[in-house]
Amino acid sequence: MPTPGTPFPPSLVPDCTKPEAHHTAYKSAKTNDAIFVCVARQGQRWKVELDAFSCSGPTIPDEAAAVLRSAAETLVLTDVVTQANIGPDYISMWAIETEQKAREIAAAFHAAMQGLRLLYTAVPTQQR
């Protein structure tokens, strides 16, 4: 398992197809004050889920969330995923063809979300 606060490589993104695996992985994320990430089988396809409510870090500002939204929209437009929900603290994408592709997407979005949160914390925002 990676050090808390670092992105997961695709091979270590937990498979939370079973509810008890989801519960265990989410509890581990909360314990480690980390962004929750997982993949789960849904029929013949896969789902990706990220949830920053599992940790105490700052909410990603709208400007940064737009980067995540844009990447998710591209995945939808290219038919890699059929649907995506992106918020400042939550990402869900589903109907991904293979487990490997779901893990790759989960790891990339986890790294991006983690990086955007760290950047937001490190760089002061201007008052408007």
| pLDDT score, position 2 | 59
Question: Can you say whether the dihedral through the CA atoms of 117, 118, 120, 121 is positive or negative?
Answer: positive
* Cα–Cα distance measured from residue 39 to residue 99, given in angstroms and rounded to the nearest whole number: 8
Give the chain's residues under pLDDT 70. Answer: 1-6, 124-128
* Cα–Cα distance measured from residue 20 to residue 83, given in angstroms and rounded to the nearest whole number: 25
User: Residue 80 corresponds to which tokens in the numbers above?
Assistant: 């890699």
Burial 28-65 (b: 16+ CB within 10 A, else e): ebeebebbbbbbbeeeebbbbbbbbebbebeebeeebb
* Cα–Cα distance measured from residue 99 to residue 114, given in angstroms and rounded to the nearest whole number: 22
| pLDDT score, position 104 | 97
| pLDDT score, position 116 | 85
| pLDDT score, position 126 | 59
| pLDDT score, position 125 | 67
